[in-house]
Structure 1
Amino acid sequence: METLNLKQLSDDRAALQTAGDLEAMRAIMHDSFRYVDSSGRQFDKETFLDQFVDPASVQWITQETVTFDETVKGEIAVVQLLLEERFILGTNAYEGRFWALHLYIKENEEWLWQGGQATMIHET
């Protein structure tokens, strides 16, 4: 049952992020959210929303989940994803595969996105 719930939450997160839905994204993110992007930059909840969700900052073309794997231990879930992404950030276009590690925490029977880290995959 958890797999279906977390997979759906992960899919919903991607859909909300690429749609630029700031309020809905804010609702599924934990208040102590932390994220490190593939360039090593660190973000809290509001700076992540500003940089990677707000349509004034980012134009998402696509974010597709290639692989999804989860480990659930009580109230904590670790989700490993391989994402194919295309987006425009400022004046720069980005396209590539990213391995992402997302952490979720369960509070009051609801899973919230706690944060994570992304690494660009250089394919040869």
Structure 2
Amino acid sequence: METLNLKQLSDNRAELQTKGDLDAMRDIMHEEFRYVDSSGRQFDKETFLDQFVDPASVQWISQDTVTFDETVSGEIALIQILLEERFILGTNAYEGRFWVLHVYVKENDKWLWQGGQATMINEL
């Protein structure tokens, strides 16, 4: 049962992000949110929203989950995802596969996205 809930949460996060729903994304993110992108840049909650959610900054073409795996221990969930993404950031178009680790914490019976890290996958 937990797997289905976390998969739905992960899919919901992706949908909110690609739609540019800043308020709904803010609601599912932990106040101490931290993220490291595939270029090694670090983001807190507001800078992540500004860079990767706000439609004024990013235009999402697609973000598709290829694989999904989770490990849950008490109030912490680690989710490993292989994503295929296409988006335009500023004047640059990006397309690629990314291995992503997302961390969720459960507070007051609600899972919140704590943060994560992305690595671009170079396929030969």
Q: Report the TM-score when normalising by structure 1.
A: 1.00
Name the aligned partner's letter for residue 56 of structure 1: A
Paired letter, 1:43: F
Q: What amino acid maps onto 1:82 in structure 2? A: L
1:83 aligns with 2:83: yes
2-side partners of 1:64 and 1:56: how far apart? Answer: 22
Aligned counterpart, 2:48? 48
In the alignment, structure 2 segments of 5+ residues that lack a partner are: none
Which residue in 1 is equivalent to 2:25?
A: 25
Q: CA deviation at 1:97?
A: 0.2
- List structure 1 runs of 4+ shifted beyond 4 angstroms: none
Equivalent position of 1:107 in the other structure: 107
| Match of residue 123 from structure 1 | 123
Listed as ranges, the gaps of 5+ residues in structure 1 are: none
What is the CA-CA distance between 1:13 and the residue it aligns to? 0.2
SS at match of 1:24: helix
Alpha-carbon RMSD: 0.3
Identity of aligned residues (%): 84
- 1:74 maps to which residue? 74
Cα separation, 1, equivalents of 2:14 and 2:8: 10
Other-structure match for 1:11: 11
Q: Cα offset for 1:26?
A: 0.2
Give CA deviations for 1:47-68 in whole Å, capped at 9, x if unaligned: 0000000000000000000000
